[in-house]
Structure 1
Amino acid sequence: MEEMIKIEELEGEDCLKLRDLWEEVFWEDSQAFTDYYFQEKAVRNHAFALKNGQEYVAMLYLSPYPVMLRAGKQFVCREINYIVGVATKKEYRHRGYMDRLLKEALAFIRAKGQPFVFLMPADPRIYMPYQFTYIYDRGIYRMRAENNSPEIRSLTEEEFHILSDCASSFLKEDCDVFIRRDSLYYRGMEKELRVQNGGICFRAGTGKEAEGYFFYTEEEGKGEILEAVLPKGDGEWSIYNSGKKEPAIMGRIVDVKSMLSLMRAKKEEIFWSMLIKDPIFPENEGIWKCRVTVGEAFINKEEKGVLDGGKQPGYECEAGIEQLTAWVFGYKEAEESFRFSDKEDREATICKLRGIRRLCRVFINEIV
């Protein structure tokens, strides 16, 4: 009998129905971590799953986060979905199930008006066909030889508030994209790190300020620093910055207008036009006319077609949605991201694009 595979959308506590599939596919996760995820995270998520009769055979979770996005001198907070828990039962793989789930999830995210989506890939090759590209490399910190593991303790309520205030101030100064930090965020993160045999290593200053902190986990005797914020440097800490980075987060723009509306000019007003290609969302594909000032952006799609008068291209440069994503988040420069319609005007267009204040400094280290 031919299998009847149908897609199911799950919200809140209904997401708990996928625990058996999670435990089967992510068998390497500890019981403590799985318990944490389904008690603390899954119940606040949105999920898409494929069901064969009464059996769930593939799944994808959307975990919503309040993300701070720089728009000129100000920040705006937008709900952005983090794709996690992407998995298919072994015997059902290579049947296009994940293709269905990813496209369904991306359409859901676009319908919510979110500018982009992000994920931490187990294998980036899975997501490249859907125009995901890296947008953030995580700094690699190491323990000093004389300190094999840091001293971890539970934070007090006052320390959570000090930590969140100081971290928010530092991140707003040094970053363009990050998860909103408050005491609730750090309390939840402490729980998550605890089930990974770690915690938050925090040091307070003389007043109501923090000298810095880092997130530590330890699995199978191996310690890892997931995040470090050390405004005064690492000289007095049990960890140090190795100076190396590793690709960590991939992203994809799902709404060009919403995304580019966050761009600002560094100085004078800038006009430019570009052709964007997107094989999944025709709404993103076409010529975009952009006028960006120091305080706001005006982004409109040209509806009359690619050619202006049937002779010359009506745009200065073009890119696929993945190249646009890499440029917006500062992972690649304009020269690497765009093709230029007029070689003679290439340098002038690049000069314009260099005058745009992009979201270059991404800081996203969440696991789930």
Structure 2
Amino acid sequence: MLPGPTNVPERVTRAMITYPINHRSDDFVELYEECVNNTKSVFETEGDAVCLTASGTGATECSVVNLVRKGDKVIVPVNGEFSSRLAQQIEWAGGQAVRIETEPGVNATLDQVREAFDNNKDVKAFYCVWNETSTGTMINYLDRIKDLTSRNDSFYVLDGVSIVGGEELHMDKWGIDVAVTGSQKAFACPPGISPVCVNARARKYMEANPPRTMYFNLPRYFKYYAESRHTPFTPVLPVLYAYREATRMILEEGMERRIHRHRTCSAALYSGLSAIGLTPFAREDSRSTVVIALNYLDGLEDKVFRDTLAKKFRILVAGGFGNLKGKVFRVGCMGEVDRYHVVRTISGIASALAMMGHKADAGAGLEAAEQKLAGL
């Protein structure tokens, strides 16, 4: 129950058990072309898709180095570890990060974003971390940002590393120019593939202003794909097979049904864990549907609790980052998550708390969860 890497279906794992192929062969073209097309279907875009061999951080860095130039002004909400890293990446690329800072667990409001645009008429781009994994918060106004970026044709870039495939995304409809994710999160795939989707407008800019980087040079990927359906560099072939199978499973389930499953399981986890005496860290209007961050009870020691949960109940959850270390723990609700995972997690956490001397009514937690799971 980590917020990534997540559980991987056996069907996806088995897809990796194959001999390596020549990445300049027709076999590779068949594999990669389907990966690209499936990616575009999940993101709901008619633009280009690149399946990078990289972590999610690599995908976000790729988006930065291909768009941000020295002196460019970029608006970015910051309320946790990953949004802070994004702002730093922008500055390292020579840009000027206009941070909209809020406390961890609280999102910047749309009014605050609008004010940042009002005060920065010459803004080059708006970047945001859709789902701040470190604090369990999720931005819920993505569909209204294009009204702001359209004022001066600034770019709209979405870091969706820990949420694409588990929540509603309409890249083209929402006016998003660049969006990225990671295979090991809501796609329920091993780490190693990080999709980057780019619309025609952003591609045109990148090709006219190529970045000074070799590996993350998106125009180079566009060129190779257009000419031969190849990648410019050797990809991680076994994980690419797994990624193809994972995207097939996503499309077979259907995005609407998949999102409903994620939201239902999330509601059940919030309700059930609250019923056993835990409190969510994020403010209610900012809470993520794929990462549930919870405050520790007084006197509950982080490492002891998570070790007990792992060793006695074989359930893995994540601790907190930075200033939140030892204060919160985080439960992933993405990928394969279903009724089984929810019920077992609530039961295991309640039992671990009881073993450590904290009153926890597992029955109340399961009853509260089942009321939410009825719609699954």
TM over 0.5: no
Greater share of residues in strand = 1
State the TM bucket, normalised to the shorter chain.
under 0.3
More helix by share: 2
- Using the size of structure 1 for normalisation, the TM-score is 0.26
TM-score normalised per structure 2? 0.26
